[in-house]
Each structure stands twice: as C-alpha cells, then as structure tokens.
C-alpha cells in the first residue's frame, strides 16, 4: 500500500513539474492579453456562456452590442480557453490585412476542413502560394466572360420561378432569399464543375441540402468549446451529421472530376470524334484548372482538385445569394433608388427585351454602386479570422503569437469616423468624387491584401447580371422595414426569416 501511494505521489509530482512551466507561460500570455479591453470573463468558460445564452437568433445583436462598447476598434473575448481579439476599425484591420506574413486562417476554418480540406480558403504557407499562383489566371476577365451565359440562363429560370410564385397569390410576399440560394447554386455548380443540378426546379437536391448542413454545423461548433476537440466531436450527433453530409458532397464532386478527366482523355485520344455525352458544353472552372495544371506542369491530385472545386463552390454560393437578397431588400425599402435603376435600364436597353450583353452590363454604373453599397452595409462574409503567426502590435496593444484575430468587416464598413450616416443606404457614396481620400481598409467586403477574395470579379459580374434581369421585369417592395431586419451570425450574413418581398410586374 505504501509503495502504491509513493508511486502515485511521484506521478503527481512529475505531472505538476511538467505542467507548471506551461501554466506559468499561459499566465504570462493572459497578463499580456488582459491589457486589451474586453468584457468580464469567468473561470474556465471565459465569455462562452453569453453567445450560448443568446442562441443562434440572438448572437448577432449580442455581438453588435458588444462591438459598440469599444470605440478604440479593438477588444478581446474568451470562448472557453480560446482567446479572440476583435478588430473593428479600418486602422486596426489594416495592420492584419496588409501583412504578407499574417495570412494563416484561424481555427474556425478547421471546422470546414472535413469538406474543403486544404484548398485555397483554408491552406497557408507554400501550398497556398503555389495554388494561388496556379488558380489566379483562371479568374482572368476573358475567362469570366465565358460564365456570362450560365448566369443569364439561370437568371431567366429565376424569373420564371418568381412569376410562378407571384401567380399563386400576387398579394403574398415571396422569400427571394430561398430562390436566390437555388439560383446561385445552379450557377456555381455549372461554373465550377460544368454540370447543372437543377436546384431551382429540384427542391429536394441531396447535394444542396448537404452543403447547407455543413456550414450550419461549422458555425454551431465554433460557439461550443466542448465540441472543438476533433476526437470527441466525431462521436457526437453533430459530428455524425457533418460526416454524413461531407460524404455526400465529396461523392458528388469526385464523380464529376472522374467524368471530366475521362472525357478529356478520350478527346485527346480521338480528337476528331464527337463525344457529345462526355464533353462539357462550356469550359468550367475545373476545366481551366486542369488546363493550368498541364500548362504549368503542376499536376494536382484528385483530392487537391476536389478541394479547390469545393472551395470555389463554397465561396461563391451562399455569399452571392446573400448579397443579392440584401440588395433587393434595400431597394424594396428605397423606391427612389429603385427608380434610378429603372431609368438607367431604360437608357441602356430602351424598350428591348433581349438579354443584356456584357457591354450593356458594363454600362450599368448606378446598379454597380447599389451593389457596392449593399456589400458595405451587408458584407456577405461579416468577419474573417486569422491566427497570429508572430507577435504583433495593434493600436498600442501586444497580440502574442498564436492568438485568433477576428476582422469584423461589418463593423469596419459602418465605422462613424469613416462613413457619414453609416447606417443609411446611399449608393452615391461610391461616386468617384465621393470615394477620394477614403481609408484603403474602410471598404473591404472581399477582404484585402494578399488574402483578398480571388473570385470578387466573378461575384460582381454575377450580381449585376442576375439583379439586372430581375429588375428589368419587376418592381419590389419589402415586407420588413429597413433597420428592422434580423440577422444570423453564420459564415455569411444570413437573414433570420428570409427576405420577404412583394413583386409587381413593371408593365403594370
């Protein structure tokens, strides 16, 4: 018995000796971080109780209220033992966005790695540099022009879907967010993989449901510190839901890659034969990526191809749907601005009903300003997160290596020091004369610096094409007043109750 107690005592002493230096190091870290202002924290849980208490519906209002308390543009918050430093001003986020070394994404992105792997969004270091260099040419505007037909065709389908809903009951509002989600999914699937899953007509698409469930699980996991450990998470109901949906998504993309590579091989072996059933009608992102691999002699494995295709799909699906939904919501509350869009359309198109050409789309300068102002007030990605890969100093505060840094884009773009009447919807903020002298990081809906969004031109083109198609046929009026909207703090800035709009044909 005494021998056993002695062994146990020795073991305890060894563990304490091992842990004490780590404890001292952590205490030193906490002392540095607690110099940054922030809400009162509690032992073990830190501030994690509050977002859990408010739940998914109340998280956005809670975060906005918290941000309003720190006019310096920086504060810290603890989710369990994980520290987050929040940056809220152009001056503070500019330090991070402009850095060529602080480009590693934060831990939250690990929560979608089961789906995206280490594609362009989630990777860092040498792999990120190599893939960014390889993929950048695929977003050249000449290539983007080839996606115009896909966008226009699906916009016409969307118009038919709205007309169908309108004819059921002209006095009933239509949730345009749901319809736009389906439309952008069709566009991004055909743009990225060369196939149309017909999400606008097939509401029960297994693939589209899987994508939605993956993103919901990722954000819910972030606010539950006990689910952060991968080993434990796999055994929970949340982990099993994620695993099932990732399997569905991967199976779909893998099959597409297999078929496209086979079609390319057959075409090379017999270039004079017509493989109508096998080869794509148009070049998709996957085709351009395969071309780039051959041209630069930089082969990617099938897993790497899937990661980049899935990343393109993830980054270009919900984001553009949300942006266009908020644009229509804003226009539905500002009939005078909607009138100016219609006047511009009349000037560009006259009484023509033909689909818009790319040249005509480029002439819609006021519509472009409307989209920019929408993205200022409702950035699709309200925040992005990095991890400090070195010790930093921001606004006079030290941020130690390893700290998670959240760049709160939504609050940056409403900063009262840089925007007059920041909560007002005013597209003329983006007139050239009104944009002069603006802080370079006051408007960053696509992030900025080395890790800016590689697909921002694609996103802007899609929004202009789809919104123009809708607004040439319909006037919209919002059920919810501007300023009364309720939002979800998810990976994107998602409306809690959809975007309910009344549609009226323009010829009435």
* Per-residue DSSP letter, 282: S
- Could you tell me which of 122, 175, 223, 199 has the C-alpha nearest to residue 451? 122
CB 375 within 8 A of CB 323: yes
CB 468 within 8 A of CB 361: yes
Reported as a single tens digit per residue, the pLDDT across 233-275 is: 889 998 999 999 999 999 999 998 888 888 878 877 666 555 4
Q: Encoding tokens for residue 363? A: 């002439």
- Could you tell me which of 36, 106, 26, 43 has the C-alpha nearest to residue 70? 36
Reported as a single tens digit per residue, the pLDDT across 159-199 is: 999 999 999 999 999 999 999 999 999 999 999 888 888 88
Q: Is 343 left (phi over 0), alpha (psi -120 to 50) or beta?
A: alpha
Choose between 282 and 464: higher pLDDT.
464
112: confidence class by pLDDT, cuts 50, 70, 90: confident
* Per-residue DSSP letter, 46: B
Reported as a single tens digit per residue, the pLDDT across 57-104 is: 888 999 999 999 998 899 999 888 788 999 999 999 999 999 988 888
C-alpha span between 122 and 106 (Å, rounded): 9
pTM of the model: 0.89
Pairing relationship of beta strands 82-87 and 74-79 according to DSSP bridges: antiparallel
Q: Which long-range contacts (CB under 8 A, 24 or more apart) does 341-350 make?
A: 341/366, 341/367, 341/370, 341/471, 342/471, 342/475, 342/506, 345/468, 345/471, 345/472, 349/472
133, pLDDT greater than 70:
yes
Q: What is the pLDDT of residue 261?
A: 84
């Amino acid at each position: 018995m005494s021998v056993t107690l002695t062994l146990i005592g020795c073991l305890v002493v060894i563990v304490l000796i091992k842990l004490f230096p780590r404890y001292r190091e952590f205490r030193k870290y906490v002392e540095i971080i607690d110099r940054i202002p922030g809400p009162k924290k509690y032992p073990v849980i830190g501030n994690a109780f509050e977002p859990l208490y408010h739940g998914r519906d109340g998280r956005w209002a809670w975060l906005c209220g918290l941000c309003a308390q720190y006019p310096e543009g920086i504060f810290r918050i603890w989710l369990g033992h994980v520290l987050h430093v929040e940056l809220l001003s152009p001056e503070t986020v500019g330090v991070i966005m402009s850095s060529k070394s602080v480009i590693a994404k934060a831990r939250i992105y690990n929560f979608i790695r089961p789906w995206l792997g280490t594609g362009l969004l989630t990777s860092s270091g040498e792999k990120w540099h190599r893939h960014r260099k390889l993929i950048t040419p695929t977003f050249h505007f000449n290539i983007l022009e080839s996606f115009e037909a896909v966008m226009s065709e699906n916009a016409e389908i969307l118009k038919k879907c709205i007309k169908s809903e309108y004819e059921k009951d002209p006095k009933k509002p239509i949730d345009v967010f749901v319809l736009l989600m389906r439309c952008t999914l069709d566009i991004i699937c055909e743009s990225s993989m060369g196939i149309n899953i017909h999400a606008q007509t097939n509401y029960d698409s297994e693939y589209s449901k899987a994508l939605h469930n993956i993103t919901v699980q990722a954000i819910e996991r972030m606010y539950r510190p006990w689910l952060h450990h991968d080993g434990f998470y796999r055994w929970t109901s949340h982990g099993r839901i994620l695993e099932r949906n990732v399997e569905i998504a991967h199976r779909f993309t893998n099959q597409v890659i297999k078929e496209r590579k086979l079609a390319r091989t057959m075409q090379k072996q017999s270039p004079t034969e017509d493989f109508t059933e096998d080869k794509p009608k148009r070049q998709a992102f996957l085709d351009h990526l395969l071309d780039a691999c051959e041209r630069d002699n930089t082969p990617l494995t099938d897993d790497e191809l899937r990661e980049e295709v899935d990343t393109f799909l993830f980054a270009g699906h919900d984001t553009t749907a949300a942006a266009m939904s908020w644009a229509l919501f804003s226009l539905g509350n500002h009939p005078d601005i909607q009138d100016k869009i219609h006047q511009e359309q009349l000037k560009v198109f006259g009484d023509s009903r033909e689909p818009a050409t790319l040249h005509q789309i480029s002439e819609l300068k006021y519509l472009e300003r409307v989209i920019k102002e929408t993205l200022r007030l409702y950035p699709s990605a309200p925040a992005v997160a990095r991890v400090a890969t070195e010790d930093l100093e921001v606004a006079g505060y030290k941020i130690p290596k390893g700290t998670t840094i959240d760049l709160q884009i939504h609050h940056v773009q409403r900063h009262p020091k840089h925007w007059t009447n920041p909560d007002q919807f005013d597209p003329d903020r983006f007139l050239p004369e009104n944009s002069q002298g603006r802080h370079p990081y006051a408007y960053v809906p696509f992030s900025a610096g080395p890790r800016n969004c590689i697909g921002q031109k694609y996103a802007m083109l899609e929004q202009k094409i789809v919104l123009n198609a809708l607004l040439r046929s319909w006037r919209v009026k919002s059920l919810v007043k501007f300023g009364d909207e309720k939002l979800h703090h998810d990976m994107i800035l998602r409306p809690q109750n959809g975007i309910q709009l009344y549609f009226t044909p323009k010829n009435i």
